[in-house]
Every structure is written in C-alpha cells, then in structure tokens.
Amino acid sequence: AEEVGGDDKEVVKEYFNSTGFQRWRKIYGGMDDVNRVQLDIRIGHAKTVENAIKMLCDEGSLQGVTVCDAGCGTGCLSIPLAKQGAIVSASDISAAMVAEAEKLTKEELQTSRNDLSPTPMFMPKFEIKDLESLDGKYDTVVCLDVLIHYPQNKANAMIAHLASLAENRLILSFAPKTFYYDLLKRIGELFPGPSKATRAYLHAEADIERALKNVGWKIRKRGLITTQFYFAKLIEAVPA
Ligand code: SAM
C-alpha cells in the first residue's frame, strides 16, 4: 500500500528536538564518544557536505550569493558557506538544531575573523521553520539528508516547493533506493537498533528526477557518496 506519512513531520520534529538532536549533534560534531557506525556516518556525511560545496563553487565564487540551507541541522553546510562569503538563510524544523547551529556558527565565524580571513563574511540568518513554509527567493537552495525522513509523495511536494524558491540551482541529497541498500534497510528493520527512533525512506533516483521534471527542472550533475553505513546520492538541478 502507498505510504501516506500523515504525521511523519510531527514525529520527525519531536525526534530532532530530543534523542535525535543528541544523537546527530554527536555524529556531526567532533566529539570522540561515537561508536564505529556513528564515526562511519560522520565521515560519509562530511563527504556529502564537501561534495555539495564543490558543486556550489563550480559556478564561481560564493561571495554575495544567496543560499537557502533548508533543514540546516547543526550548520555543517551553513558554516563553510558563510566562511566563503555566501549570504546564507538557514532553517530547520527543530528548535534545538537551530540553536546549536547558531551557537556553532558564531564561534566558527569569530575564529575565522580572528584569523584575519580576507573574505567578507555574513552571519547566516537562522529560523525555526519547516521547509514547506519557507518563502523568498534564493540563488541556490540546498537540502541535504532531509528527504530520508519522508515518503516519496511528501518528498515530491517538498522538492516542488524548494524549486519554487530557487532562481538558479537546487542541490539535494537523498538515500538511494538501489537493490543493495534496500536490502540492507530491510535487514535493519528486522533487527532495529536502540537508536533507530525514526523511519528511513529511500528514494529512487528516477522518482526524484520525475518530481523535478514535473516542475520544469532537470538534473545537471550527479554524485554518489558511500561509506560502510552511509549512502547518499547528491544531485544538482537547474531549470530545464
Ligand atoms: N542538512 C543537515 C546536514 O546535512 O548537516 C542536517 C541533516 S539531518 C539528518 C536532518 C535535518 O532535517 C534535521 O535537523 C531535522 O530537524 C530537519 N528536518 C526534518 N524535516 C524537516 C522539515 N520538514 N523541514 C525542515 N527541516 C526538517
């Protein structure tokens, strides 16, 4: 049967304000007290962020470019973007995540300023907001590792909305629904670990591509990031 996912958003919000916040803050931060799986996920996610920044910089300097970081988490992407002079609007459904991102960004930008970096930097604007209610226009919209929390029908609407906010580019990452990963996930569901508080939805690249096509966008670049426990497809879409 088709997943409706009616209350996914409330569950996700609650999770990322509580146990999920603690878990992901640890994974995304530099703390030592992570297990082997968490360390592997940290490395995989860092590669996704790095590759997203590479895609962003391919078209030239980010100085003064407006970027919307939808579902910013603890600011793993917003911080390096701000350091490169981008004008960042960062938001997340979780108030705990936004507070952490804001705190880390202030610390990091202060350190960069003390290093007398020649790049003019702007403090990102942080907001507690689900991406469905974001408005405004941005040169680029980025949404990393958020779609995994939503079934395809929800993801379609999210992609359409994000595309409507972007003037030039939309960069998305998602967990690809390939046979191998689907299998791993099913095995994972048979043996759920203690920290598995939310569902993970995989997306077929063709479905993501179709959602973009339906709103007049096409994929320009594709990348795949894999470690032992982390899988992500990274795509850059542009108006067709
Ligand atoms: N994008 C960040 C990164 O890659 O470092 C964080 C990724 S984390 C796995 C997923 C984030 O998406 C969480 O911070 C969560 O609160 C946020 N999120 C989930 N659903 C959301 C929604 N509907 N709107 C905005 N943020 C959402």
Ligand 1 pocket, residue 52 CB under 6 Å:
no
Q: What is the pLDDT of residue 66?
A: 98
Q: What is the domain count for the chain?
A: 1
Rounded Cα gap, residues 27 and 229, in angstroms: 13
Answer with the residue of higher pLDDT: 173 or 8: 173
Residue 57 domain flag: yes
Contact 237 CB / ligand 1 (< 6 Å): no
pLDDT band at 1 (very low <50, low <70, confident <90, very high): very low
Q: Is residue 17 part of a domain?
A: yes
Interval 197-226: pLDDT, tens: 567 899 999 999 999 999 999 999 999 999
On whether residue 231 sits in a domain, the answer given is yes
Cα-to-centroid distance, 90 and ligand 1 (Å): 11
Own/partner long-range contacts of 28-31 (Cβ < 8 Å, ≥24 apart)? 28/73, 28/74, 28/76, 29/74
Asked if residue 172 is part of any domain, the answer here is yes
How far is 110 from 121, CA to CA, in rounded Å? 10
Residues 42-54: pLDDT tens digits?
999 999 999 999 9
Residue 1 inside a domain? The answer is no
Domain that holds residue 79: 8-239
Tell me if 38 sits within 8 A of 22, measured CB to CB: no
| Distance spanning both ends of the chain, measured CA to CA | 33
**Residue at 2 is within a domain:** no
Nearest to 8 by CA among 216, 147, 128: 147
Instruction: Report pLDDT digits (tens) over 54-94.
Output: 999 999 999 999 999 999 999 999 999 999 999 999 999 99
For the CA of 76, the closest atom of ligand 1 is: 5
Ligand 1 pocket residue status of 62, Cβ below 6 Å: no
CB of 176 sitting under 6 A from ligand 1: no
Instruction: Determine if ligand 1 sits within 6 Å of the CB of residue 88.
Output: no
**Cβ–Cβ < 8 Å for 234, 173:** yes
Range with the poorest average pLDDT among 1-10, 122-131, 146-155, 176-185 = 1-10
How far is ligand 1, taken at its centre, from the CA of residue 1, in Å? Answer: 26
Q: Is 0.95 exceeded by the ipTM?
A: yes
User: Is 32 a domain residue?
Assistant: yes
Euclidean distance between CA atoms 121 and 87, whole angstroms: 8
Q: Where does the pLDDT of residue 2 fall: very low under 50, low under 70, confident under 90, or very high at 90 and above?
A: very low
Q: In what order do the strands lie in the sheet with 87-92?
A: 125-128, 87-92, 66-70, 138-143, 166-174, 231-239, 217-226
Q: Measured from the CB, is residue 166 less than 6 Å from ligand 1?
A: no
pLDDT digits (tens, 9 = 90+) for 106-143: 999 988 877 777 788 999 999 999 999 999 999 999 99
CATH number at 103 reads 3.40.50.150
In a domain, 3, yes or no: no
Of 93, 98, 126, the residue with max ligand 1 atoms within 8 A of its CB, to mutate for a pocket test, comes to: 93
* pLDDT value of position 30: 84
